[in-house]
Amino acid sequence: MELCYYPGCTLKTTAKNFELPAIASIEKLGHKMVELPRWNCCGTVHSLAADDLMHQLAPIRTLIRVSETGADKVVTLCAMCYNTLKQANKIILEDNEKRDRINNFLDEEKDYSGNVSVLHLLEFLRDEVGFEEIKKRVKRPLDDLKLSPYYGCLLLRPEGIGIDDIEAPRIMEDLIEALGGEAVDSPFKSECCGSYHTVDDIDPVIERTKMIIDDSNARGADAIVVGCPLCFYNLDYRQKDAKERYKEFNSIPIFYFTQILAIALGLDESTCAFGEHFVDPRPMLLNKNLVLSGWK
Amino acid sequence: MLGSLEKRILSVLFKEKKTTARDIFRKLRAEGMTTTYVTVNTVLSRLYKRGLINRISEPYRGSFRYTYEYKDLKEGLISDLLGDVTLLFGEEGIDLLKKKLDTKKGKEQVKTKEKAKPLSDTETMRICLSRNNIQNSIIKKIEEISGQKVSACYQCGKCSAGCPMINLMDLLPNQIIRLVQLGQISEVLDSKTIWLCASCFTCSARCPKGVDLAKVLEALRLLLLRKSENYIEPSELDIDENMPQIALVSNLRKKTG
């Protein structure tokens, strides 16, 4: 099946290690991610103001581009893109007055009626491919690998937008188990990582990173698995600051879920672009016999 | 002669040199003193009228505010005191004073050890209610921007219980909404809380009354941002090249107008 794929800015630059293994894995599973030929910024945060339609235009324009290709769904990887696209689509579906105002304003575009469904790749893997099917395709089971899923906010909330149960999500756990790994539960898995404060106020981010990672370490996890480039940055790169502040801090590798999928499907580790990580996961993977020793 | 609160306020001003009534109030509260913002304000204007401190009026959020500045009073106050002592008791007074000063130094050291336990926020959270504030038209504006009915909140505290940023906040999320209900808008707009909220929607998901607090906080930020009162100065940001673009864009979307 051909999948209409909306990457967003970050996937094309600092989160190549998220995109490359996704494209390769989906191909391995017999589908194809086809990038939307023309797309623009999603706006990154959904505008919460009831009187602000201007900031809904960017995501809606992207959804119009999707419907122009004839596709009825679009797949995203970035949690922020997923959230803004889906929330903007919800406005179009549920508020006729706002839908008409937006369509009147975008007079050069075709009218949009909310017919594109916004999917996160995790949903596609669960609902369209199926975890049972993925399990059958695993070439290199993640035996003996304890992974702690970290969902963050925007994959789960607000209600009606999230990809799984809002308080007790299982989707990443199910994926990890399908790949042969062991899912380690964490009470912080759906709590905020500090998000965009990482730009101007790193203190709360360092504290949260430390708390989340200390907990995963205490539960014996080998790594944390995320689905958002901002969570990834805060949990991976901010470990440097956490280590500077707390001598006793123990680092832990952070994976995108697409990377563990690629490894389990037997893809070459070069597709995972592990060089982009602050905490290199390869020594740990090598220890578990999951990557070739040639990378050094 | 100075009253006890006057002395406490002057001692804060002596340390800070230049500050606002609100900050002095917060410092005193942190030191464990039970006082109200209004009292601090009154005492400050009294001190100003007596010529003991400076007051500067500066533009702030569409209107103006007062900042108070420390004036050097040491010389004057001490010679006043000494004058009284010598006038009344002569040489004997000076000797006594000297003895007292020596023992005082020792005592002071003991005293600092037994610091007063700071009162918790619930014990000192006092505000001045007025009909004008409660009928404040800004409440309507906030409800309009957020699309939320703030009066629906019945203060169960679920929002604060689940908030991941709570330990850094000066006002708890449920206090924010209570203050908005009561029209204490400047109190709320001055808080760090509205900027610490990163819209993770945990409170929104759990509110038993269906109040989307994330939207109320967005409305409060927008009250300032729409007047171009940026919370951060973009040119001063220190950007790490590994930082994802979504971090930068969302930060600027949330903290600048």
User: Of A93, A121, A149, at which residue does a domain stop?
Assistant: A121
* Greater pLDDT, B126 or B19: B19
* Greater pLDDT, B251 or B117: B251
Domain assignment of residue A254, yes or no: yes
pLDDT in tens, A129-172: 999 999 999 999 999 999 999 999 999 999 999 999 999 999 99
> How high is the pLDDT of residue B13?
87
> How high is the pLDDT of residue B110?
56
> How high is the pLDDT of residue B55?
86
**One domain for residues A182 and A253:** yes
Mean predicted lDDT score pLDDT of chain B: 86
Distance from A85 to chain B by nearest Cα, in Å? 14
DSSP state of B31: T
Binary contact (A157, B201; C-beta < 8 A): yes
CB burial of B182-196 (b: ≥16 within 10 Å; e: otherwise) equals: bbbbbbbbebebbbb
Among residues B18, B20, B66, B22, which one has the least CA distance to residue B171?
B22
User: Of A89, A121, A153, at which residue does a domain stop?
Assistant: A121
In this structure, of A284-293, B4-13, B111-120, the range with the lowest mean pLDDT score is B111-120
Q: How many domains does chain A have?
A: 2
Which of A11, A48, A151, A210 is the best mutation test for B, with the most CBs of B within 10 A? A48
pLDDT in tens, A161-212: 999 999 999 999 999 999 999 999 999 999 999 999 999 999 999 999 999 9
**One domain for residues A191 and A282:** yes
> How high is the pLDDT of residue A247?
94
φ and ψ at residue A131, rounded to 5 degrees = -70, -30
**One domain for residues A50 and A80:** yes
**One domain for residues A96 and A168:** no
Residue B245 CB contacts under 8 Å (≥ 6 apart), including other chains: A9, A10, A13, A14
B168 touches chain A (CB under 8 A): yes
Helices (H), A115-170: 121-123, 131-137
Residue A269 belongs to domain with CATH number: 3.40.50.11810
Domain assignment of residue A134, yes or no: no
CA distance linking residue A246 with residue B13, whole number of Å? 35
Closest CB to B146: pick one of A14, A43, A50. A50
For residues A111 and A103, the answer to whether their CB atoms sit within 8 Å is yes
> How high is the pLDDT of residue B18?
87
User: Of A76, A92, A121, at which residue does a domain stop?
Assistant: A121
**One domain for residues A153 and A273:** yes
CA Rg value for chain B? 24
Residue A250 has pLDDT above 70, yes or no: yes
Domain assignment of residue A130, yes or no: no
Domain assignment of residue A127, yes or no: no
Residue A114 belongs to domain with CATH number: 1.20.1050.140
A195 touches chain B (CB under 8 A): yes
Q: Record the pTM.
A: 0.78
CA distance linking residue A259 with residue A271, whole number of Å? 8
Q: How confident is the model at residue A246 (pLDDT cuts 50, 70, 90)?
A: very high
B149 touches chain A (CB under 8 A): no
With beta carbons under 8 A apart, name residues in chain B contacting A48: 146, 199, 212, 214-215, 218-219
Binary contact (A48, B251; C-beta < 8 A): no
Distances (CA, A) of B24 to A175, B38, B58: 55, 11, 17
Mean pLDDT, to the nearest integer, of B25-33? 84
Residue A293 has pLDDT above 80, yes or no: no
**One domain for residues A57 and A156:** no
**One domain for residues A175 and A282:** yes
SS (H, E, C) A29-40: CCCEEEECCCCC
> How high is the pLDDT of residue B226?
93
A211 touches chain B (CB under 8 A): no
- Beta pairing class for A223-226 and A146-149: parallel
| Bridge partner list, A34 | A4
Closest CB to A9: pick one of B146, B246, B251. B246
Distance of CA B244 to the CA centre of its chain: 34
Helices (H), chain A: 16-28, 57-68, 79-94, 96-105, 121-123, 131-137, 171-178, 197-200, 202-218, 229-236, 239-245, 257-264, 282-287
3-state secondary structure of A256: strand
> How high is the pLDDT of residue B62?
56
> How high is the pLDDT of residue B67?
84
Q: How confident is the model at residue B29 (pLDDT cuts 50, 70, 90)?
A: confident
> How high is the pLDDT of residue A97?
96
**One domain for residues A262 and A160:** yes
- Token output for B13: 């001003």
**One domain for residues A247 and A116:** no
pLDDT in tens, A109-128: 999 999 999 999 999 999 99
CA distance linking residue A180 with residue A268, whole number of Å? 18
- Token output for B254: 């949330």
Which own/partner contact pairs does B69-74 have at CB distance under 8 Å and 24+ positions apart?
A: B69/B13, B69/B17, B69/B18, B70/B10, B70/B13, B70/B14, B70/B16, B70/B17, B70/B18, B73/B10
A191 touches chain B (CB under 8 A): yes
Closest CB to B244: pick one of A51, A167, A229. A229
With beta carbons under 8 A apart, name residues in chain B contacting A59: none
Distances (CA, A) of B142 to A141, A285, B217, B220, B251: 53, 52, 9, 7, 22
Closest CB to A10: pick one of B168, B196, B246. B246
> How high is the pLDDT of residue B125?
63
**One domain for residues A91 and A147:** no
* Greater pLDDT, B104 or A98: A98
> Over pLDDT 90: what percentage of chain A?
95
Binary contact (B200, A166; C-beta < 8 A): no
> How high is the pLDDT of residue B61?
67
> How high is the pLDDT of residue B63?
62
Residue B68 has pLDDT above 90, yes or no: no
For residues A274 and A281, the answer to whether their CB atoms sit within 8 Å is yes
**One domain for residues A116 and A169:** no
The Cα angle at residue A263 between residues A259 and A269, in degrees rounded to 5: 85
**CB atoms closer than 10 angstroms to residue B159:** 25
Domain assignment of residue A64, yes or no: yes
Domain assignment of residue A126, yes or no: no
DSSP state of B170: S
CA distance linking residue A187 with residue A148, whole number of Å? 10
**CB atoms closer than 10 angstroms to residue B156:** 13
**Residue A100 sits in which domain range?**
2-121
pLDDT in tens, B125-183: 667 788 888 888 999 999 999 999 999 999 999 999 999 999 999 999 999 999 999 99
Residue A296 has pLDDT above 70, yes or no: no
In this structure, of A4-13, A77-86, B35-44, B131-140, the range with the lowest mean pLDDT score is B35-44
> How high is the pLDDT of residue A218?
97
Mean pLDDT, to the nearest integer, of B91-113? 73
- Token output for B223: 């009250």
Domain assignment of residue A287, yes or no: yes
Binary contact (B245, A10; C-beta < 8 A): yes
Residue B121 has pLDDT above 60, yes or no: no
Which of B201, B204, B211, B217 is the best mutation test for A, with the most CBs of A within 10 A? B201
Q: In what order do the strands lie in the sheet with A223-226?
A: A182-183, A146-149, A223-226, A254-256
Residue B237 has pLDDT above 80, yes or no: yes
**One domain for residues A177 and A62:** no
DSSP state of A222: S
DSSP of B59-103:
EETTEEEEEEEE---HHHHHHHHHHHHHHHHHHHHHHHHHHHHHH
> How high is the pLDDT of residue B88?
82
Domain assignment of residue A263, yes or no: yes
Among residues B113, B234, B199, which one has the least CA distance to residue A44?
B199
Q: How confident is the model at residue B58 (pLDDT cuts 50, 70, 90)?
A: confident
